[in-house]
Amino acid sequence: MGHGGVFDRGLPSVPMGFHTFDADGADRLEDAARRYRYCSAEELLGALSLSGEERVADLGSGTGFYTDDVAPFAGTVYGVDVQEAMHDYYRGKGVPSNVDLVTAAVADLPFDDGGLGAAFSTMTYHEFAGEAALSEVGRVLAPGSRLVVVDWSANGRGTAGPPLDERFDGAAARTAIEAAGFEIESAVERSETFVVIARAR
C-alpha cells in the first residue's frame, strides 16, 4: 500500500457476511442509472461532508463505483473489499491515484486506531453487519468521524437488491450501529433503502 498505517494482509476470498455479491456480475455494479436511483453521488457526498483531506474507507467497495465519486473530495480513499476479483475489475477500468485497494474483511481492517476520518458503505452493509465488524469500524475511525451506511431495506417493496431475508431494516441498522458506540445523527427508512449517518465517539 502506498500510505502509512495500511497493508494488504493477503486474506483469502471469503464472504464478509451472510451474502457476498458474486464478482461474476461486476458489470451490473457499473450501471449508473440504476445505482444512482437508490443513492446518488450528491447524496453520498453530502452525507459524508468531507473537507478534502480525510482518509476515507469505502467498506465493500466492489468495482469502485462510489469510490470514484468520493475520491476527488478526499485525501485518500481505501477501497476495502474481501474479493480480490473486485479489485481486479476496478484496476481494469482505472483506479484514481489517491485510491488504495485493500483486501480485507470489515471485521478485520488493517488500519491504525483512529486512523480514518470517515467511512461509508453503499449497498453492502448486509454483507458484513455484525458486532465484530461495527466494533472494528469504530476502532479505525477517529472520534467525531462520520460513518454513512446506505443499504437495501428489509422493508423494501421492489425486486432490486438481495433477497429480503438477507437484509436489515433501518431501525435494526440504527440499533446495531448505536450499540457499537456510534452517535446517530440521522436514520431514514425509504421505499427501497435506508440511510444511517453516525459519528464515532
Q: How far apart are CA 199 and CA 138, in angstroms?
A: 9
Q: How far is CA 91 from CA 35, 63, 198, in A?
A: 20, 9, 31
- In SS3 terms, 124-188 reads as CHHHHCCHHHHHHHHHHEEEEEEEEEEEEECCCCCCCCCCHHHCECHHHHHHHHHHCCCEEEEEE
- As a whole number, the mean pLDDT across the chain is 89
Largest interatomic CA distance in the chain: 44
Is the distance from CB of 153 to CB of 193 less than 8 angstroms?
Answer: yes
Model confidence, pTM: 0.86
Q: For residue 15, name the pLDDT band (cuts at 50, 70, 90).
A: very low
The per-residue pLDDT for range 85-113, each reduced to its tens digit, is 999 999 999 999 999 999 999 999 999 99
The per-residue pLDDT for range 44-65, each reduced to its tens digit, is 999 999 999 999 999 999 999 9
User: Which residues, at least 6 apart from 36, have a Cβ–Cβ distance to it below 8 Å?
Assistant: none
- Other Cβ atoms less than 10 A from the Cβ of 14: the count is 9
Residue 4 is predicted with a pLDDT of 37
Cell numbers at 166, concatenated: 438477507
